Structure 1
Amino acid sequence: MGKLPSSFILRSVVNGGSHLSNFHSSSSSSSSNTIATHIEALSKKPMSVRGKGKIYYRFDNVDDALIFFNKMIGKQIELLGVSHDGYSMSILINGFCQLGRIDFGLSVLGKMLKLGVEPSVVTFSTLINGLCIQSKISEAISIFDGMTERGYQLDLIVYNTILKGLCKIGNTNRAVRFLRLMEGTGFEPDIVAYNTILDCLCKKGLLKEALNLFSEMKVKGIRPDIITYNCLIHGMCNLGRQEEATRLLNEMVDNNISPM
């Protein structure tokens, strides 16, 4: 598909791998089934990793392992079970993101692009999620824009991740515009998308906007859930609108939704 136009992605190509040797794992242990666990384990005890054939490489710490990975990735060496295909390298990117090291995840992305390995939607989605968690929304949207420009088939998960990131930094106006973008591209926002924005609007005291959105989702046939009602009821109570909160509570019970 050629190079992506996003300058943010292109910078990761130029800098790909340049930071890997500086990695120090200080995060808490992740799931035992993730590559993050294996990376983190390297910082705690020596470990031998099998390469091609019967060659074994011993690492005394995470720095040694990552320096090795940075040097040998272009020579088809497998490290920690990471082969030279997009799927395996995406697992490594996910591991770095789980450890909160999005910079190393981007370095691996840079390596992928240099080597001509085409990233998948999952690869980019993982990075977008990692960036949003760190409130780096501009960078996340830069990757999102690059994906749309190059014709990647996005899914609701990607859109909802961006929405969550925008709401995390309190940018409700842009979140609502992004919701309209979803609709314009043929994606019907689901209950997760609406709840994300409703929660943000209510926390900012924008109850009128929240109720308008609430009415919109019901007109579209999207059934409110316990999260929807909780957001609105808490928003009403915070503004001293107890009667409206009680009315909404009764509506929730009438819809066979039990209060939490």
Structure 2
Amino acid sequence: MGKSTSSLLFICNRLIIRVSLPFRAFTSHYCSTIRENAKTPCQNGNQLLNSVRDHSKSGTFKNLDSFSEMMSKGIQPNVVTYSGVIQGLCNFGRWREASTLLNEMVQRKVMPDVQTFSILVDTLCKEGMLTEAKEVFDVMIQRGIEPNKVTYSSLIDGYCLQNQMDEAVKAFNMMVEKGFSPDGFSYNILVNGYCKSKKIDEAVRLFHEMSNKGMIPDVVNYNTLIGGFFKVGRVQTALELFNTMRACGQHPDPQTYAILLDGLCKNKLIGEAMALFKEMEDKRLDHDIVIYNILIDGFCNIGELTTARELFYSLPTKGLQPNVVTYNIMIKGFCKKGLIVEASELLEKMDDKGCSPDDCTYNTIIQGLLQHGETAKTMKYLKMMVDKGFSANATTAAMFIDLLSSKQVDENI
């Protein structure tokens, strides 16, 4: 086995270990099968695909059935087939199975091509495994496979997600040097990266560079930069860009309005946010739960809990149901106001309403209880959180450490 192949297998195995999805039983069973039947790779392939299909939710990824049927008839899948199935699994967030299938693909001496490598680079970047993504990128080149624009875009985005903008720019420039002309999508990755890291002047420079090269910014490009201006508190500039966007014939989409509302609320301009919301109502634009979550959060953050509560309890009359984010916002709002009983009651009602609490819910209520000295209740929710497989986040852990270090610890701890 060559060095580049060994490296790829090693990276595949690390991804399988790293990513946590609800297929542990399947993976364990499959690995046992490989050990027991190491000399029958074709049979292993069928068992893998059948296991994935059996453990998948109905109506999700249909291509597995066809792939399994191919192999059962003795038709050996090639690199295109494997790549298609791996891409499908990745699209559904099923990284463990995709990585296991890629691992098997290499063992069966079906060598990945540029599409397969690009899928893997993208997956690793989305999982925050930049070192591994760069290793796969290097393996591609070692094998004589030239990365394409998709590969470069994934790598650039990976660096941006980790706020490594210098590396992102290097990858962007490398892409240009290799003869790939950046498009609006490529530019938007960098613009978004600069906006997230609050380097708004660099983002604006790239936005204008894109326009100067003859590319017409679309709604996604405008949305990204508008959001960037709000992040650094340049509200008026964000609103001016919104007007420019409309003047240039780009029609705002639901994401545009969500960005505007969120930006106004985050900058405590709740009156302007409500005026925009009224404009949306007048234009009969759809109001989904995301829009209401933004408004409820905005009112909670400025201490207008009565209005936030009214919006929350009016949702069913508007044909909407609160999701876990909505509940978390309200629970946090109650805790900030010292309404611990109401926060606890709302959490207790979540399961009855068909919305299960998540790790954020438990961390929020526990932090609120600790802030108000409710140690006994804190331990109740801590146990519930652990029993459900959730963990304390950094803030909760720090608060517990402070409590244990103080002399105010009672016997409940």
TM-score (norm 1): 0.70
User: In structure 1, which of residues 237, 247, 250 is the aligned counterpart of residue 243 of structure 2?
Assistant: 250
Q: Does 1:155 align with 2:148?
A: yes
CA offset at residue 138 of structure 1? 1.3
- The answer to whether the 8 A contact 1:5-1:146 is kept is yes
1: CA distance between counterparts of 2:164 and 2:141?
22
2: CA distance between counterparts of 1:189 and 1:236?
24
* AA at the equivalent of 1:169: Q
Matches within 5 A, 1:54-133: 63-68=28-33, 71=37, 74-77=40-43, 78-79=45-46, 80=49, 81=68, 82=71, 83=76, 85-91=78-84, 93-94=86-87, 97=90, 98-101=93-96, 104-105=100-101, 107-112=103-108, 115=109, 117-133=110-126
CA offset at residue 179 of structure 1? 0.9
User: In structure 2, which of residues 118, 130, 146 is the aligned counterpart of residue 137 of structure 1?
Assistant: 130
TM-score (norm 2): 0.46
User: In structure 2, which of residues 157, 162, 175 is the aligned counterpart of residue 164 of structure 1?
Assistant: 157
2: CA distance between counterparts of 1:86 and 1:5?
17
Distance 1:105 1:132, change over 3 A: farther
Distance 1:230 1:88, change over 3 A: closer
2: CA distance between counterparts of 1:235 and 1:133?
21
Question: Which position in structure 1 is the counterpart of 2:330?
Answer: none
CA offset at residue 248 of structure 1? 2.0
Distance 1:253 1:89, change over 3 A: closer
Q: Deviations over 1:73-132 (max 9, x none)?
A: 7554350325453344445644665423265355325414xx3x2212222122212211
1: CA distance between counterparts of 2:147 and 2:190?
20
User: In structure 2, which of residues 200, 212, 215 is the aligned counterpart of residue 207 of structure 1?
Assistant: 200
Q: Does 1:8 align with 2:7?
A: yes
Q: Deviations over 1:45-92 (max 9, x none)?
A: xxxxxxxxxxxxxxxx66445543563575543503254533444456
Question: Which position in structure 2 is the counterpart of 1:30?
Answer: none
Distance 1:73 1:193, change over 3 A: farther
Q: Does 1:176 align with 2:169?
A: yes
> Which runs of 5 or more structure 1 residues have no equivalent in the other structure?
28-39, 44-60
Distance 1:73 1:217, change over 3 A: farther
SS at match of 1:164: helix
* AA at the equivalent of 2:199: L
1: CA distance between counterparts of 2:102 and 2:175?
26
- The answer to whether the 8 A contact 2:5-2:106 is kept is no
- The answer to whether the 8 A contact 2:195-2:225 is kept is yes
> Which runs of 5 or more structure 2 residues have no equivalent in the other structure?
50-67, 257-413
2: CA distance between counterparts of 1:95 and 1:255?
37
Higher helix share: 2
2: CA distance between counterparts of 1:133 and 1:170?
13
RMSD value, Cα: 3.4
1: CA distance between counterparts of 2:136 and 2:160?
18
SS at match of 2:95: coil
SS at match of 1:199: helix
SS at match of 1:173: helix
Question: Which position in structure 1 is the counterpart of 2:280?
Answer: none
- The answer to whether the 8 A contact 2:105-2:111 is kept is no
User: Which piece of structure 1 moves more, 206-215 or 78-87?
Assistant: 78-87
1: CA distance between counterparts of 2:214 and 2:94?
39
Distance 1:213 1:68, change over 3 A: same
User: Quick one: percent identity of the two aligned structures?
Assistant: 28
- The answer to whether the 8 A contact 2:9-2:103 is kept is no
User: In structure 1, which of residues 12, 20, 26 is the aligned counterpart of residue 22 of structure 2?
Assistant: 26
Distance 1:127 1:64, change over 3 A: same
Q: Deviations over 1:189-210 (max 9, x none)?
A: 1211111111121122101111
Number of residue pairs aligned between Structure 1 and Structure 2: 220
2: CA distance between counterparts of 1:245 and 1:25?
39
- The answer to whether the 8 A contact 1:121-1:154 is kept is yes
